[in-house]
Amino acid sequence: MTETAFSFPSTYNFPPFFTPQPNTNTRHDQLKKWAALIQAWCRHHRQQRLALIDAVESPLFHNAALRKRLDLREARAIVDWMAKTEEEGGGGGRAEWIDAGRTVAWIWWRQPAEWADLLAEWIESTGQKGVVFTVYELLEGEGTGSQEFHGMDPEVMLRSLNILVKRGKAQVFGAEGQEGVKFF
């Protein structure tokens, strides 16, 4: 299976896109466009974790054709904005820092609650209530290969499963790294 190339938005080829804009309204629009690009990039590459030190060297933040790139400080500022709620003047909580140094972040192209909903729908549609799975089976098993959650970060899967536990729709058990789950 070959991966399709990521399609960048037209703003990616506009040099000012890579320069923090001084006008408040323009800056807000720029942050929204960067947030959408980061989410689309992570979704395309099926990743939930974004390590900024690696990302600033990738095509995500470096347009080689324009010879323009975002530095680590600006990439961090964008993810900071994404992590704030709309009430805080941010991007709706679509990112979350993993480390205190703000170098690695979760990028929520689907929030854990949305993943939980997707898992519950899959269990319901495939008639697997009462079935016990290992977390590994959900992430890497043949039966989930066509599902969007297949191959996701195990920590995001566990967060999503814990949401289902709180809703009374699942039970997680077992030792760390060897968790199992039963769906109700």
Q: Residue 134: its pLDDT value, please?
A: 94
Predicted confidence at residue 2, as pLDDT, reads 52
Q: Which CATH architecture has domain 112-183?
A: Orthogonal Bundle (1.10)
Res 177: pLDDT: 83
Cβ proximity of 114 and 163 under 8 Å: no
Residues belonging to the chain: 184
Q: What homologous superfamily does CATH list for 10-107?
A: "Winged helix" DNA-binding domain. Chain C. Domain 1 (1.10.10.570)
d(C-alpha 132, C-alpha 18), whole Å: 48
Per-residue pLDDT of the chain (184 residues; tens, 9 = 90+): 456 899 999 999 999 999 999 999 999 999 999 999 999 999 999 999 999 999 999 999 999 999 999 999 999 999 999 999 999 989 999 999 999 999 999 999 999 999 999 999 999 999 999 999 999 999 999 999 999 999 999 999 999 999 999 999 999 999 888 899 999 9
Domain boundaries, the chain: 10-107, 112-183
The model carries a pTM of 0.90
| Amino acid 26: pLDDT | 96
**CA-based radius of gyration for the chain:** 19
Q: Select from 62, 25, 20 the least CA-distant residue to 41.
A: 62
**Helix runs in 24-104, H state only:** 24-44, 52-55, 72-83
What pLDDT, on a 0 to 100 scale, did the predictor assign at position 3?
A: 65
| Cβ burial, residue 10 (10 Å; 0-12/13-18/19+) | exposed
Burial of 163 (C-beta count, 10 Å sphere; 0-12/13-18/19+): buried
Give CA torsion, residues 183, 95, 8, 31, to 10 deg.
150
